[in-house]
Amino acid sequence: LRTATAASIGLEDLLGNGAGSGQDPAKVLLIDARKQTFEKIRSRLKGGIELDFASDPNAGFFRAAEGGYECVIVSTALPDVDPLRLCSQLRSLDRTRFLPIILLADRDDDPRIIRGLELGVNDFLVRPVEPHELTARLTTQIRRKRYNDRLRASVAQSIEMAVTDALTGLHNRRYLDNHLQTLFERAVARRRPLSVMIVDLDRFKSINDRFGHDGGDDVLREFARRLRQNMRGIDLICRFGGEEFVVVMPDTDGPVAEKVAERIRAEIARTPFMIGKEGQAVTVTISVGVSSARGQADDVRSLLKRADMALYEAKKSGRNKVVG
């Protein structure tokens, strides 16, 4: 699974990745009206930090939003522009929400520094900038940002893994449990149709028996791929367990859902699956039970129950069938 490695990064990876620890240089953007300030600050920087410069606050804002920077220094010396407004704009934009901001202010500018900190500025520097302090404050912000970025990515990937089936990459049952109710309520409230199909591979035990568990896994993966290929982006496709799959189709009534199911059934039966390294061709068939939401009086449990009963009918009456 693509997400497995990144999600398993340890605390050491997170902490060891700060600026100045042999990693990529950090790009920092200075927004200040005077080129002189830029040259002064750049000459006082230690290695590991690359300083860019924007003399125009609007241009600076857009460059910060384009990404690639790990910290931005906003100077209070910006004619015609409120530097604090610029800071709060950076804070409110998705692209720059987590970008550290350091306010560069004059010694007697306490009210503005305090206001900046209230607005979410991360730190401040006071002119004239002392070289060690400059590097220390920048390094702290860059290290914190790198740590937070990795932590955020790791949390997002853990969440994704918790709702993803590792074998097929489809959503898992937990995801379905969380989302079907929402999709159902939305459909009922908008008086839109909603259909569900439960798909079960026929005689799957015998595929395992003939080709081993790995061969069976190949079939499940390939089936998931074909299922995904045949459904729309708004359909919710999940591996319910074992060799059973559930597809939720918003904006789809019963007759259309049955047509979709029939198309998939025919495609699966028509095109053999290639199993194992030698690529043995195996014909696989599926049975499908379809049900549709019946408005206010209906609920998710009975919707699934009806699809399951239809599936049972399909199995009982000979398999390789769709029952609605």
Query: Among all residues, which ones are annotated catalytic?
Result: 243
Residue count, binding to ligand GH3 (CB under 6 A): 16
Residue 200 touching Mg ion (CB under 5 A): yes
Which residues sit opposite 287 in a β-bridge?
Answer: 200
Alpha carbon distance 26, 28 (integer Å): 6
- Contact between 98 and 64 under an 8 Å Cβ cutoff? The reply is no
Phi, psi of 59 (to 5 degrees): -60, -40
Position among 34, 95, 213, 225 found at the interface with ligand GH3 (CB under 6 A)? 213
Residue 244 touching Mg ion (CB under 5 A): yes
Stretch that binds ligand GH3, among 97-105, 147-155, 190-198, 214-222 (CB under 6 A): 214-222
Alpha carbon distance 313, 324 (integer Å): 9
Measured from the CB atom, the residue of 60 and 216 that comes closer to ligand GH3 is 216
Amino acid symbol at 152: R
Stretch that binds ligand GH3, among 34-42, 118-126, 153-161, 195-203 (CB under 6 A): 195-203
Position among 200, 222, 235, 308 found at the interface with ligand GH3 (CB under 6 A)? 200
Which one of ligand GH3, Mg ion, none interacts with residue 208, CB within 5 to 8 A by kind? ligand GH3
Measured from the CB atom, the residue of 204 and 273 that comes closer to Mg ion is 204
Instruction: Please give the helix or strand (H or E) that residue 288 lies within, else none.
Output: strand 286-292
Site map (CB under 6 A) of ligand GH3, residues 140-179, x = contact: ---------------------------x------------
> What minimum distance in Å lies between the beta carbon of 216 and Mg ion?
11
Residue 216 touching ligand GH3 (CB under 6 A): yes
Long-range contacts for 22-26 (Cβ within 8 Å, ≥24 apart)?
Answer: 23/48, 23/146, 25/49, 25/50, 26/50, 26/70, 26/71, 26/138, 26/142
- 10 Å CB burial of residue 118 (0-12, 13-18, 19+) is exposed
- Contact between 112 and 93 under an 8 Å Cβ cutoff? The reply is no
Q: Which residue has the tokens 């568990």?
A: 213
Site map (CB under 6 A) of ligand GH3, residues 286-315, x = contact: -----------------------------x
Position among 85, 174, 192, 203 found at the interface with ligand GH3 (CB under 6 A)? 203
Residue 313 touching Mg ion (CB under 5 A): no
Residue 109 touching Mg ion (CB under 5 A): no
Residue 32 touching Mg ion (CB under 5 A): no
Residue 217 touching ligand GH3 (CB under 6 A): yes
- 10 Å CB burial of residue 233 (0-12, 13-18, 19+) is exposed
Residue 221 touching ligand GH3 (CB under 6 A): no
Alpha carbon distance 264, 286 (integer Å): 9
- Within 163-272, residue ranges assigned H as helices are 173-189, 204-230, 254-270
Q: Which residue has the tokens 């350091």?
A: 102
Residue 165 touching Mg ion (CB under 5 A): no
Which one of ligand GH3, Mg ion, none interacts with residue 102, CB within 5 to 8 A by kind? none
Residue 308 touching Mg ion (CB under 5 A): no
Position among 186, 205, 263, 301 found at the interface with ligand GH3 (CB under 6 A)? 205
Residues in Cβ contact with 31 at an 8 Å cutoff, skipping those fewer than 6 apart: 54, 57, 60, 61, 64, 72, 73, 74, 75, 78, 86
Q: Which residues bind ligand GH3 (CB under 6 A)?
A: 167, 200-205, 208, 213, 216-217, 220, 242-243, 315, 319
Q: Which residues bind Mg ion (CB under 5 A)?
A: 200-201, 204, 243-244
